[in-house]
Each structure stands twice: as C-alpha cells, then as structure tokens.
Amino acid sequence: MSRPLAFVRSVPDSFARALTGVAPGSAIDVALAREQHQQYIACLAGGGFGIERLDTPFDFPDGPFIEDVAVLLIGTLVSTRPGVPSRRGEVTGVGEALAARFELRSIDPPGTLEGGDVLQLGGRIYAGRSSRTNDDGIRQLAKITADLGIETVPVQVRDTLHLKSVVTALDAETLIAAPGHFNPEVFGKFRILWVEGEGEINTLRLPDGNVLVPSSKHAVQEVVAADGYGVVTVDVSEFEKADGGLTCLSLRTNDG
Ligand code: CIR
C-alpha cells in the first residue's frame, strides 16, 4: 500500500503578522518558526508520511496552517471558505496545486468552514460549529460528504478556535480531549482520554502508530504515553503563538 501523503506549505516573512487570540507575549520569531517547521516535517516523514511541498507563490501570514483551507475526502478536495476574510486568499492556490489529483468541490457564501473544525473518524465527519465555521458551511459539507456516503455530524464548540484545538484521534477508537469545550455525548462510541489544565490539545497520529505531541504539552505527553502509545515530540512554540497546533500545519490523505 502506498504511503499516506502530507501536503505542507512554507513559512512566509509575513508569518510574523499571523492572526492570534493568545495574549501578547514575545513576538513570533520567523527564522525559528522555519526551523520548527522543518523539524515538524521531519517528524511526519519519520513517522511514515510522504511529504509534498506546495510551493505555489503566496504571501499570506497564516498560509502555513494549510489544514484550514481544504478538506481531503476519498478522491475529493473540498476548498473551504475560512471564517476570517484575511485567510480566504489562501484557498485558491492549494486547490489549484492539487486539482490534477482530486475532484474539487467548494464551500460557497454564505457558508464558512475551516479544516481545523473537521475531524474525520471511523467513516464519519464531525464538524465543529465555531467562531470560524457556521451552520451553512456545515450543511454544504454534509451535502458533499453525503454524495460520498459519509455522514457529517455537527458539534458545537466553545471557548477555543477550532474543534481539533481540543479533540484529536489517537487511533480508530480513542480520542484525546480537553474538557469543557464540547458535549462528549456526540462521541459516545469512542474512548476519550481527558487532559485538564493544559489548554489546547492537538496531537497528530502518525502512520507508524506513534503520536506527535507539542513539546510544550507535558501532561498530554504523559497521558498518551501512559496509554501505551509511542510519543514523538516537536517544538512548535512559534506556531502556538499564532494559535496553531500540529494538525493545522499539514493536509493529510489518511485522515479519517
Ligand atoms: C488562525 O487564526 O487562523 C491561525 N492563526 C491559526 C490557525 C490554526 N489552525 C488550526 O488549528 N487548524
């Protein structure tokens, strides 16, 4: 079987001006962000992803967060419509770069949807209703996924950026999550490992079964390791300053 792919972009100079809701601390160090991005890519490659860089010209501050502008389903790429206008220009370049390999669908006005709100699990899609993703965006996504035989389930998200800022999958049966941001009943058939007191939780399951965790998230690392998973850590401090985690820095063909 061929390796799953992870599509990534690069870190532009303008990344220093990326959107953030985090209280201002130190400024983003773009050179350090580029080093961390390389380390992140090395972790994905080491864990079994084939890496493809989409070197389409762009200068969008939030461009490295490629996950938000497209959703990959079986053979189909859904170009999203970000909830913030400053990110909408990122969408076309990614869609065009991948047009030869995927059937293209799109989320159209008045819908908004960001890939960070789309969690693919066990043949279903859980779509976060957040400050970035609205009901119409979820309705459009549900129609597209229904054409592919996939059910989309809305999940109300509160007090965080995206659904996947607070819940990600460790394997086909297990989730890791931060409490207080969504009603867990919606994930009734899954086992949830809860981690309190460490803010956002965004892990990335690697094809080799190990789990990539930010080096800043010590409690998450402990919970994941205690449950028997191999833990790989990477420092993404500069992306965390822009509300980013691990899944948002790549677009993967094996989600779901
Ligand atoms: C934004 O506010 O859109 C970016 N600064 C962060 C996006 C993070 N994306 C994600 O978690 N999927």
Please give the pLDDT value at position 28.
95
Is 248 annotated as catalytic? yes
Domain 5-252, what architecture? 5-stranded Propeller (3.75)
244 CA from centroid of ligand 1 (Å): 5
- In short, whether 63's Cβ falls inside 6 Å of ligand 1 is no
3-state helix, strand, coil split of the chain in percent (to 5) is 30, 25, 45
Question: Does ligand 1 lie within 6 Å of residue 67's CB atom?
Answer: yes
> Is 165's C-beta closer than 6 angstroms to any atom of ligand 1?
yes
In tens, the pLDDT along 166-196 reads 999 999 999 999 999 999 999 998 999 999 9
Average pLDDT score over the chain: 95
Please report, for the chain, the start and end positions of each structural domain, with discontinuous segments joined by +: 5-252
pLDDT band at 54 (very low <50, low <70, confident <90, very high): very high
Q: Exactly one of 43, 162, 181, 218 is catalytic; which is it?
A: 162
90 lines ligand 1 (CB under 6 A): no
Which tokens belong to 250? Answer: 């790549």
Radius of gyration for the alpha carbons in the chain, expressed in angstroms and rounded: 17
pLDDT at 21 over 90: no
CA dihedral 221, 183, 130, 127 (to 10 degrees): 80
DSSP state letters, 148-181: TT-EEEEEE--SSS-GGGTEEESSSSEEEE-TTS
**Interval 120-173: pLDDT, tens:** 998 899 999 999 999 999 999 999 999 999 999 999 999 999 999 999 999 999
* Residue 255 pLDDT: 82
Q: How would residue 1 be classed by pLDDT, with cut points 50, 70 and 90?
A: low
